[in-house]
Amino acid sequence: MGFLLSIAAGYGQAETAFAATVVLDPGHGGNNEGAGSGSAFSEKRFTLALAQAVAAALSSKHRVELTRSADIELAPADRAAVANHLKADLMVSLHAAVAPYCSDRTAAVYIHNDERLVMGSGKTESSKSDPPAWETLQIRHQQNSQTVAEEIRIALEASGAFDHVAVYTAPLIALMGADLPAVLLEVGCIHPTVALTKDQYEQQLNAYAGPIAAAIETALDTLAP
Ligand SMILES: [Zn+2]
Q: Whole-angstrom Cα distance, residue 139 to residue 175?
A: 10
Q: How close is the Cα of 96 to the center of ligand 1, in Å?
A: 6
Cα(8) to centroid(ligand 1), Å: 44
Residue 4's pLDDT is what? 44
* pLDDT band with cut points at 50, 70 and 90 for residue 134: confident
Report pTM. Answer: 0.86
Contact of 222 with 147, CB cutoff 8 Å: yes
pLDDT score at 129 = 64
Distance between CA atoms of residues 113 and 110, nearest Å: 9
Instruction: Identify any residues that bridge with 169 across adjacent strands, giving them in sequence order.
Output: 111
All structural domains of the chain with their residue ranges: 18-113+129-223
Residue-level pLDDT at 156? 97
Kindly give the distance from the C-alpha atom of residue 61 to the centroid of ligand 1, in angstroms, as a whole number.
Answer: 28
Cα 208 from Cα 160, distance rounded (Å):
11
Q: What is the pLDDT of residue 147?
A: 97
How far does the centroid of ligand 1 lie from the alpha carbon of residue 208, in Å? 16
pLDDT in tens, 79-115: 999 999 999 999 999 999 988 878 889 999 999 998 7
Residue 106: beta bridge partners? 164
Q: How many Cβ atoms sit within 10 Å of the Cβ of residue 18?
A: 13
Q: Model confidence over 49-89: pLDDT tens digits? A: 999 999 999 999 999 999 999 999 999 999 999 999 999 99
What is the C-alpha separation between 152 and 212, in angstroms, rounded? 8
pLDDT of residue 2: 41
If DSSP codes are grouped into helix, strand and coil, which group holds residue 88? coil
Cβ–Cβ under 8 Å, residues 137 and 180: no
d(CA 183, CA 218): 14
CATH code that applies to domain 18-113+129-223? 3.40.630.40
C-alpha 5 – ligand 1 centre gap (Å) = 48
Distance 134 CA to ligand 1 centre (A): 22
pLDDT of amino acid 149? 98
Mean pLDDT of 179-191: 94
**Ligand 1 center to residue 28 CA distance, Å?**
6
Work out the average pLDDT over 121-128. 49
